[in-house]
Chains A and B, each alone.
Chain A
Amino acid sequence: MGGRRTGQILLMLAGLIAWAVQFTAIYGVTSTLCGRGWADANLLGLEVVPMTILSATLVTLAATAVALIWSFRNYRLAKHQPVAAVDDFVSHAAVLINGLSIVVILWHGIPAFILPACA
């Protein structure tokens, strides 16, 4: 598979990969800090656990938004110029997957606003 094809597949999966990164970061940091009794750890006056969840959510959300815009652009281009059916399919799938990923990432960031860090 050439570089262009690999890029298309990566773009198609970008949102879900971003979710995996967010999930690993928020669960890893929460488990480590709570497991070690460092729940009250502060950075610049902010609690580390909710701040990590928030920043991991924002960063992965931004990355997914970029992937969504990019894939939507490809999809629009595919509608206006002759491309192979497989390219049209992949660009459409990329829009759908990245769109769903936005919702999934947001959904996973919500607990930071509701629950205490290590209760």
Chain B
Amino acid sequence: MNAPELPKAFERGEEELPNPLPRPEGEFEALKRAWKPPRGLRFLTAVNNTYVGVWYVGTAFLFFILAGILALIMRVQLARPENDLVGHGLYNQLFTMHGTVMMFLFAVPAVEAASVYLLPNMQAARDLPFPRLSAYAFWAYFVGGLVFFGTIFFGLSPDGGWFMYPPLTSTKYSPADNADWWLLGIGFIEISAIAGAIEIIVGVMKTRAVGMSLDKLPIYSWAMLVFAVMIVIGFPAIILGTLLLEMERAFDWPFFIAERGGDPLLWQHLFWFFGHPEVYIIFLPATGMVSMIVPTMAQTPLVGYRLIVLALIATGFLSFGLWVHHMFATGLPKMSLSFFSAASTAVAVPSGIQVFAWIATIASGRMRLTTPSLFVIGFLFIFTLGGLTGVMVAVAPFDWQAHDSYFVVAHLHYVLIGGMVFPLFAAFYYWVPAASKRALSERLGRWVFGLMFLGVNVTFLPMHITGLIGMPRRVYTYPVEMGWDALNLVSTIGAFMIAAGVAIFLYDLARNFRFTLEDNAGNVWNASTLEWLPNGTYNTRSIPSVVSRDPLWEQPNLSKDVEEGRYYLPGTVTGGREALVTSPFDARPQYILQVPGPGWQPVLAAVFTAAFFLLLTVKLVFPSVICGVLAVGCVIWWLWETDPGPVRPPADIGGGIVLPVYATGPMNHSWWAMIVLMVVAGMVFTCLIFSYLFLWLVNPGAWPPQGVRIPDWIWPSLSAFLYCASGALVAVASRQLRGDDRRSPRSVPVLIGVALPLVCGASAIDLWMQWETGLSPSAHAYGAAVYAITSLQIFFVLTTLVMGAYTIARWLAGRLDNVRRTTFDNTMLFWYYTAGQGLVALLVVHGFPRLTGGL
């Protein structure tokens, strides 16, 4: 189905707005009723982006404070030489937890959390397209994060550094559970981050104000789109890395043990393929925030909108070519290092473009020196300094001198605090009036800024010198004669200045932040974008059409008309929660999405998911499995209520536009989500194939090792045939489900039922044949790599099995027919992916050793 053409009147005068006044009696009440959050204990089940967004931001900020306290303890320990406040064991846990919590539990969740709140409001969408997924991501993060942090009180925290290099973190040198807390705890919080990223991609692409085409998209939305795509590409590497290291620790599969063909450098590649883009993953949303704040404070449109979009996209790409610059000291060939050095310097160009665009915007307007402005100026100063030292460490010979010294600690804090924390504080001061009865105090805000700005420079500027005169990072103390005492004392004083600034911010927050939606402080800055429209739990009363990037400046009366319900979809046409789905390029209305409301399912699913991983960490396998099964059960319960079908005929949303309340195929929002999920899965698989090839590279003449037999071709051929056959049967089932008349052919469950044993059989045959040859997963990295590929494939096949059975159950319950077929489409897409991945896996595992002939 094509998107309906917008009437030309979409740029008409106010007397010709899509919906006339007066609005029908009861329309607004019905809208409010549909979006009302539950009360009492059930308030925890709320899924509105505004509530989940505020909880999410609050939790991320809690972790910022907790990790900051850990930093203060470390600074006190280092304030004077040979101090004995904490011992080396606890110090190792402190720096590991500080880095881990700041990066994984504060930085990424904070920017994701802010977008859960801001994106729908900025795009005048009623909510994100999958509000229950946001709630699931939040609760999983909240429960898992708090338990993970609690390990510090029991001496169980990971202590191998935030990048957890083996062999230090292998069983041999870290036999206790500490490393497992990192691997399982953080591994699963990354899954929560990916869930958020899928939500953001679909949200930016599919739920925007009418007419908000790509050229009118707020820069913040662009930044979040690039951010989310980077998560989808980058996070699978670390998910796979944690899986491999955990498999090595749990089952003795030697991916990183050199004596048995493994290589610790494989971990570094996987970690930093995620780890360096991670810096930009947290930086880009912050630049998006700055690009929203600067024009408002200067009261002039953003200069260089197209160049900033270019910069965001270019940064997204180039940041994936930098990872080896963290490995300059590992002995890789200089030619290889030079490629990464080139990318590391090249990525400074798009960052520079953004900085110049902000300066030009400031220069072209009249900048008001408010607290958000001060934090933006602080960001420009601190981040630029961090960027300059970044260019220095991008040059390999300099990096060899500064590697693992306090110079690097100084550099990374300048980049991360300047590039992310200062913009976040600017954002707090800027957007609080949209969510609170009162704005935060400007007077206190200046104190907060002053203390933090001075504190950061007092703490970290001396560290450049501390590092250059030889102090290595991660030492818990140092002797008097090294000459590092004065510089360390200054750094400690600076750290407490930052803490004082944050404490005043908390006081300001407690004094002035009063969460509200309908009664907020309003557009106190005279900003130009849609999050400043009058709003409520339903976001905006009606969904506006926009004709510029600064609609509140260029469309007079927009706020009033939106609030009166004169724009699109001013009520609810199904009686429930709805969002307007628009086309990705030019934001033409496509259909009305029935948005699921509050429910215990995402909360329980998140709690059980967290319990599954956390119990597994402490080797309580049986309770862990029970929690895993319960988590899957809750997800099925949650999904059962979705895919409602066309509950009513197409409805008029105003301006002569009549839209269906249900759509399938590429227009459907969950089709997009499934495609993104397949990209995530494809990246995990690609990283695994990279690992396989990497291990081949470091094992000349042993691929396969002596005495290992490769199964005959007949077996992988049979396996491949079964994958193809199962996919073909699903394709036939899809054809049976075509047509406009509501019918649900009996052949559909039968075809799926036959296809299921075929796909299961395909992977079972492959596993059995490998086992039959006597291949051991623990004897050599070859066997470990082969079984890792086979295991991943089995996981996908089992997921397909659950999805296939679920699809059959929906058919049996009368919830699946040729119109209401989104569930089937999702299963079909996943099925094709699983079969395709299985074929590639067979080709690699059976074809590659034959191709190289054991080289």
Whether A63 is near chain B, meaning CB under 8 Å from some CB there, is no
Contact A1-B666, Cβ < 8 Å, known A89-B306, A93-B310: yes
Tell me the complex Cα distance, A112–B216, Å. Answer: 42
Are A97 and B310 within 8 A (Cβ)? yes
Q: Which residues of B contact A114 (CB under 8 A)?
A: 338
Across-interface contacts of B214 in A (CB, < 8 A): 86, 89-90
Contact A116 B335 (CB under 8 A): yes
CB closest residue in chain A, given B353? A100
A13 to B339, CA, bound (A): 21
Q: In the complex, which residues of chain A have a beta carbon less than 8 angstroms from the beta carbon of B698?
A: 35
- A96-B310, A100-B349, A119-B333 known; A110 vs B342 contact (CB < 8 Å): yes
Q: With an 8 A cutoff between CB atoms, is B360 at the interface?
A: no
A79 to B275, CA, bound (A): 42
Given A84-B213, A96-B307, A107-B346: A118 touches B317 (CB 8 Å cut-off):
no
How many Å from the CB of A4 to the closest CB on chain B? 9
Q: Annotate B340-384 by CB proximity to A: 1 below 8 A, 0 otherwise.
A: 001101100110000000000000000000000000000000000
Q: A100 — which chain B residues lie within 8 A by C-beta?
A: 310, 314, 349-350
Say whether, besides A35-B698, A93-B309, A110-B342, A86 and B213 are in contact (CB < 8 Å): yes
- CB of B58 within 8 Å of the partner chain: no
A111 to B335 alpha-carbon distance, docked (Å)? 7
Instruction: State how many angstroms separate the Cβ of B132 from the closest Cβ of chain A.
Output: 26
**Docked CA distance A113–B306 (Å):** 35
CA distance A82 to B67 in the complex (A): 55
Answer yes or no: A42 CB below 8 A from chain B CBs. Answer: no
Asked if A70 CB lies within 8 Å of chain B CBs, one says no
Q: Given the complex of chains A and B, what is the CA–CA distance between A118 and B337 in angstroms?
A: 10
A99 to chain B, nearest CB (A): 9
A64 shortest CB reach to chain B, Å: 13
Contact A111 B333 (CB under 8 A): no
- Closest chain-B Cβ to A28's Cβ sits at a distance in Å of 9
Size class of A's contact patch?
A: 35 or more
A62 to chain B, nearest CB (A): 19
Known: A86-B586, A115-B334. A97 touches B313 (CB 8 A): yes
Q: Is the CB of B697 within 8 A of A36?
A: yes
A31 and B331 alpha carbons, distance in the complex (Å): 12
B767 within 8 A of A: no
Residue pair A89, B215 in contact (C-beta under 8 Å): yes
- The answer, yes or no, to whether B320 is at the interface (CB within 8 Å) is yes
Q: Which of B215, B343, B583 interacts with A108 by CB under 8 Å?
A: B343
Query: Once the chains bind, are A34 and B310 in contact (CB under 8 Å)?
Result: no
If A85-B213, A89-B214 touch, whether A117 touches B317 (CB-CB below 8 Å) is no
Task: Assess whether A49 is interfacial by the CB under 8 Å rule.
Answer: yes
| A59–chain B nearest beta-carbon distance, Å | 16
Contact B336 A31 (CB under 8 A): yes
Please encode chain B, from 267 to 311, with 1 for each CB lying within 8 Å of some chain A CB and 0 for all others.
000000000000000000000000000000000000000110110
Q: Does B318 contact A (CB under 8 A)?
A: yes
Q: How far is the CB of B587 from chain A (nearest CB, A)?
A: 9
In whole angstroms, what is the CA distance A108 to B343 when docked?
A: 7
Beta-carbon contacts under 8 Å, B127-182 to A: none
Whole-angstrom distance between the alpha carbons of A37 and B697 in the complex? 10
Q: What's the least CB distance linking B270 to chain A, in Å?
A: 15
**Chain B CB within 8 A of A76 CB:** no
Contact B215 A85 (CB under 8 A): yes
CB-defined contacts of B855 to chain A, threshold 8 Å: 36
Contact B317 A19 (CB under 8 A): yes
B584 CB–A CB distance under 8 Å: yes
A86 near B585: Cβ-Cβ < 8 Å: yes
Is B433 among interface residues, defined by CB-CB distance under 8 A?
A: no
- B333 near A96: Cβ-Cβ < 8 Å: no
Chain B contacts for A97, CB-based, 8 A: 310, 313-314
Are A36 and B333 CB-contacts (below 8 A) given A23-B343, A104-B346? Answer: no
What's the Cα separation between A23 and B469 when bound, in Å? Answer: 36
Report the minimum CB–CB distance from A47 to chain B (whole Å). Answer: 11
Q: Chain B residues near A34 (CB, 8 Å)? A: 333, 335-336
Docked pose: A6 CA to B307 CA in angstroms: 21
Neighbour of A30 across the interface among B306, B335, B349, B350, CB < 8 A: B335
Interface residue? A26 (CB, 8 A): yes
Per the bound structure, the CA–CA distance linking A110 and B338 in Å amounts to 9
A16 sits at the interface (CB 8 A): yes
* Number of A-B contacts defined by CB within 8 Å: 107
B335 touches A119 (CB 8 A): yes
B321 within 8 A of A: yes
Task: Check if A55 is an interface residue, CB within 8 A of chain B.
Answer: no
CB distance from B736 to the nearest CB of A (A): 27
Contact (A84, B338) CB under 8 Å given A93-B306, A96-B306: no
Flag whether A20 is at the interface (Cβ < 8 A): yes
Chain B residue at minimum C-beta to C-beta distance from A6:
B585
Across the interface, A1 reaches (CB within 8 A) one of B215, B317, B585, namely: B585
**CA of A1 to CA of B587, assembled, Å:** 11
- Determine whether the beta carbon of A117 is less than 8 Å from that of B333: yes
- A5 beta carbon closer than 8 Å to chain B: yes
CA distance A16 to B345 in the complex (A): 16
In the complex, which residues of chain A have a beta carbon less than 8 angstroms from the beta carbon of B332? 31
Q: Which residue of B lies closest to A53 (CB)?
A: B335
B849 → chain A closest CB, angstroms: 15
Q: How far is the CB of A21 from chain B (nearest CB, A)?
A: 11
Contact B343 A20 (CB under 8 A): no
Q: Is the CB of B335 within 8 A of A118?
A: yes
Q: Which residues of B contact A85 (CB under 8 A)?
A: 213, 215-216
Whether B313 pairs with A30 at a CB distance below 8 angstroms is: no
Give the nearest-CB partner of A117 in chain B. B335
**Nearest chain A CB to B11's CB is how many angstroms away?**
11
B313 touches which of A16, A26, A116 (Cβ 8 Å)? A16
Assess whether A16 is in contact with B585, with CB atoms less than 8 Å apart: no
Does B700 lie at the interface of the complex (its beta carbon under 8 Å from any beta carbon of A)? yes
A38 vs B233: C-alpha distance when bound (angstroms): 32
Task: Determine the residue in chain B with the shortest Cβ distance to A33.
Answer: B333
- B590 CB to closest chain A CB, in angstroms? 11
| Given A1-B584, A86-B213, A96-B310, A35 contacting B335 (CB threshold 8 A) | no
A111 to B338 alpha-carbon distance, docked (Å): 6
Which of B334, B583, B585 has the most C-beta atoms of chain A within 10 angstroms of its own C-beta? B585
Chain A neighbourhood of B336, CB < 8 A: 27, 30-31, 34
Within the assembled complex, what's the spacing in Å between the Cα atoms of A112 and B336?
10
**Which residues of B are found within 8 Å of A20, using beta-carbon distances?**
317, 320-321
Output the least CB separation between A113 and chain B (Å). 11
Q: Which residues of A contact B333 (CB under 8 A)?
A: 30-31, 34, 117-119
User: Measured between alpha carbons, how far is A104 from B315 in the docked complex, in Å?
Assistant: 12
Q: Mark B494-528, 1 if CB is under 8 A from A, else 0.
A: 00000000000000000000000000000000000
Q: How far is the CB of B315 from chain A (nearest CB, A)?
A: 10
Task: Give, as a whole number of angstroms, the nearest-CB distance from B274 to chain A.
Answer: 17
Which chain A residues border B309 with CB–CB below 8 Å? 93
- Docked CA distance A115–B342 (Å): 13
Residue on A nearest B338 in the bound complex, by CB: A111
Chain B residues lying within 8 Å of A119, measured Cβ to Cβ, are 333-335
Q: CA–CA, A13 to B309, complex, Å?
A: 12
Which A residues, 11 to 27, have Cβ-Cβ distances below 8 Å to chain B? 12-13, 16, 19-20, 23, 26-27
Q: How far is the CA of A116 from the CA of B310 in the complex (A)?
A: 34
Q: A111-B342, A114-B338 are in contact. List 5 more A-B contacts (CB 8 A).
A: A34-B335, A36-B700, A93-B306, A107-B345, A111-B339
23 A-B pairs with C-beta separation under 8 A: A1-B583, A1-B666, A16-B313, A19-B318, A23-B339, A27-B336, A30-B333, A31-B336, A32-B697, A34-B336, A35-B697, A36-B855, A85-B216, A89-B214, A92-B306, A96-B306, A97-B314, A104-B346, A107-B342, A108-B339, A111-B335, A111-B342, A112-B335
A residues in contact (CB < 8 Å) with B = 1, 5, 8, 12-13, 16, 19-20, 23, 26-27, 30-32, 34-37, 49, 84-86, 88-90, 92-93, 96-97, 100, 103-104, 107-108, 110-112, 114-119
B binding-site residues for A, Cβ under 8 Å: 213-216, 306-307, 309-310, 313-314, 317-318, 320-321, 332-336, 338-339, 342-343, 345-346, 349-350, 583-586, 666, 697-698, 700, 855
